[in-house]
Structure 1
């Protein structure tokens, strides 16, 4: 090869390399812009979530006077949209993750408006609750998928950790609205639900400002692969344990210890202060230590929390027992960030990128299929034997979760 040819080849390679660098830079800047918008979405969904999680159980208790068994029954319609989310996201697949998330925010805002303004009866409340649940469950797997699509493989955990930290900081504002509103400003359930609805509308708007990626799969796609079996099983077991905590942990504080919305807001402040740090730490731990380490540690902590819920009242006076149970409630809610480890696990073992969203949605569906039924039996167990046995059952499930997480392997 003569020198002129070598020079031309060198210039061609440099030109190609330069074009690649420019394309990569543009893609990186676009990703950063979209990720910034996505962080803002996390802020608005955090405000709405903070309000809803703080007042919803008190709303059910104060307005509809539910018993523990009736509270368990309510979880069936509330979690039904989550069980069907695999089908729902399959139908919305042609829109892509961002546009489908906008649909989710629309439903969530409508559900909140309905709870605030159009729930004079228990049956009407159930309908609006299901619409809200559909919206939030649409966004649940898509938020992880969108966050990871705007990240590199070695920063999945850190990026999701950052999104979750922003989301959590905004929940503090939601808690503050409830605390100030109920304690000093005379706000009602109706008003705070409308504030949450407005927050979901703003989340919808900022999702609309993001650059939607055209989905490679424009037809309905359901993914069931043997390689993802452990993820599916983990989703089921996690759904069972999580739903016991979501349903009955606040119900113990409300029904047994008469905790009101402002007090739940204070607990929320403590949870947020603890979790702002843990969300970033957990995200980095996923990248450094891996999913098996993080999920195994979570399972061990959850076993301890279950024991605290179950036996605090037997060992300590009521004044101390309520503090221990409240501490368990705080730790339990602080551990919710670990959910992203299951998302990064499936992202790393996926055979192709197009498998991620449908597999996450399948996991969400399996999670909620069991979550629909567990509260019903938990309510019966509470009514017949006492709430202690509900959390003993949760401890057994947490042991199963530990056994399964130890089987995780990532190439």
Structure 2
């Protein structure tokens, strides 16, 4: 605890990245926990309206590459801080716009802030954190974020059940904290990256493997976010209290695991870590498809949350692969690629779910298997040919 206090009061680049992660997770957790109740009970939205809302929320993710235009007029750090403020503002005003179009509007604002932040923050992390312990540093940042997500969730539960605090107050409080942290981040010294970044969109064949794994990662994320919890409710009849407990346990597990996962990736390398991640995902998704015991299903949910930690390995691969002056451009493009699946996959898998939920998770296992096969080629001649390295080396 003393070490963390020293880090957070140091105003270092690492402290800035930690505060950005904390601000983002507080706002997002507050929005995610109460949005369904607000949509149904306050706004009176139907299932179709909520579906439109989720699509509206994902559209800025597809447009993440447009953040490059902002880099013409401001540094990445300033864009990141402005995005934190936009995210907080969007969440804070949600409760004051209790109509369908008002909810669409506030969701668009918070989503622009969130997706621009994620694109720029990935670039900043890649440039500011040292290569030799990059995964460990990312593990610590994500562990801090996971911890504050858990704390936020606990506070919302206490405020709702013991003090009957309104959705409006929860939205405002979480958004205001995020906005206040953005104001605090303005006081940090502007950190200049070592290499001037391109502000145009760049697509290179040599990054093909990263593009593929990024797209597949987005598809895998959607299956977990949209359907793992749905399985717990529909098949095992989990109540709100049971889902809340499961969320808490999985968040705690991720908080404890992330620093160790980061060090493990630094030790064994990103290729080996990705192979382990995807192989484990194949088993987890197949187990989801055929599990009949709710304790076993809950265990799979927690394991799935921990496996999410290994996504740090893909960020490490990104850092070691991308040219130093193309980090910002490629980071923004990769976030767009990652969100392509978020637009169409839930709809398609929702149709598949109607024919049998098992096929959704079998589809997830297939996606994980493809990811595994791609990761196995990393560092081989096949990997070089796919990415055009042979041609690059001849230049």
Question: Where in structure 2 are the equivalents of 1:183-198 lying within 5 Å?
Answer: 183-198=161-176
CA distance in 2, matches of 1:75, 1:185: 30
Q: 1:146 aligns with which of 120, 124, 145?
A: 124
Confirm whether residue 356 of structure 1 aligns to residue 334 of structure 2: no
CA deviation profile, 1:281-308 (whole Å, cap 9, x unmatched)? 1211221111111122111222222223
Instruction: Report deviation, 1:90.
Output: 4.0
Q: 1:300 aligns with which of 263, 279, 282?
A: 279
In 2, are the aligned partners of 1:271 and 1:333 still within 8 Å (CA)? yes
Instruction: Report deviation, 1:261.
Output: 4.9
Partner of 2:186: 208
Is the alpha carbon distance of 1:127 and 1:305 closer, same or farther for their aligned partners in structure 2, counting shifts above 3 Å? farther
Partner of 1:6: none
In 1, are the aligned partners of 2:64 and 2:119 still within 8 Å (CA)? no
In 1, are the aligned partners of 2:160 and 2:166 still within 8 Å (CA)? yes
Instruction: Report deviation, 1:341.
Output: 1.7
CA distance in 1, matches of 2:200, 2:255: 36
Instruction: Report deviation, 1:71.
Output: 5.8
Question: Where in structure 2 are the equivalents of 1:263-302 lying within 5 Å?
Answer: 263-302=242-281
2:202 match: secondary structure: coil
Question: Where in structure 2 are the equivalents of 1:85-100 lying within 5 Å?
Answer: 85-92=64-71, 94-100=73-79
Is the alpha carbon distance of 1:405 and 1:197 closer, same or farther for their aligned partners in structure 2, counting shifts above 3 Å? same
CA distance in 2, matches of 1:217, 1:150: 13
CA deviation profile, 1:308-347 (whole Å, cap 9, x unmatched)? 33222xxx3xxx33x3333333222333322222122111
CA deviation profile, 1:187-212 (whole Å, cap 9, x unmatched)? 23322222220221133123212222
Question: Where in structure 2 are the equivalents of 1:299-378 lying within 5 Å?
Answer: 299-312=278-291, 316=292, 320-321=293-294, 323-351=295-323, 353-378=324-349
CA distance in 2, matches of 1:258, 1:71: 22
Is the alpha carbon distance of 1:335 and 1:324 closer, same or farther for their aligned partners in structure 2, counting shifts above 3 Å? same
CA distance in 2, matches of 1:210, 1:372: 36
CA distance in 1, matches of 2:358, 2:94: 32
Instruction: Report deviation, 1:217.
Output: 4.5
CA distance in 2, matches of 1:92, 1:396: 38
Partner of 2:389: none
Instruction: Report deviation, 1:257.
Output: 5.1
| Bigger-Rg structure (1/2) | 1
Q: 1:132 aligns with which of 97, 107, 110?
A: 110
Partner of 2:359: 389
CA deviation profile, 1:247-275 (whole Å, cap 9, x unmatched)? 22233344555645554432232122211
In 2, are the aligned partners of 1:182 and 1:261 still within 8 Å (CA)? no
In 2, are the aligned partners of 1:46 and 1:171 still within 8 Å (CA)? yes
Instruction: Report deviation, 1:363.
Output: 1.0
Instruction: Report deviation, 1:181.
Output: 2.3
1:36 match: secondary structure: helix
CA distance in 1, matches of 2:49, 2:239: 20
List alignment gaps of at least 5 residues for structure 1: 1-29
Instruction: Report deviation, 1:118.
Output: 0.8
CA distance in 1, matches of 2:173, 2:232: 25
List alignment gaps of at least 5 residues for structure 2: 1-8, 385-395
In 1, are the aligned partners of 2:198 and 2:328 still within 8 Å (CA)? no
Instruction: Report deviation, 1:65.
Output: 6.2
CA deviation profile, 1:96-136 (whole Å, cap 9, x unmatched)? 22111122112211221233221322x43233222222211
Question: Where in structure 2 are the equivalents of 1:8-23 lying within 5 Å?
Answer: none
Partner of 2:374: 404
Is the alpha carbon distance of 1:403 and 1:58 closer, same or farther for their aligned partners in structure 2, counting shifts above 3 Å? farther
CA deviation profile, 1:25-46 (whole Å, cap 9, x unmatched)? xxxxx99723224323333333
CA deviation profile, 1:111-170 (whole Å, cap 9, x unmatched)? 21233221322x432332222222111122333332343322201112111111111111
Is the alpha carbon distance of 1:307 and 1:53 closer, same or farther for their aligned partners in structure 2, counting shifts above 3 Å? farther
Normalised by the size of structure 1, how large is the TM-score? Answer: 0.81
Bigger Cα displacement from structure 2, 111-120 vs 150-159: 111-120
Normalised by the size of structure 2, how large is the TM-score? Answer: 0.84
1:153 match: secondary structure: coil
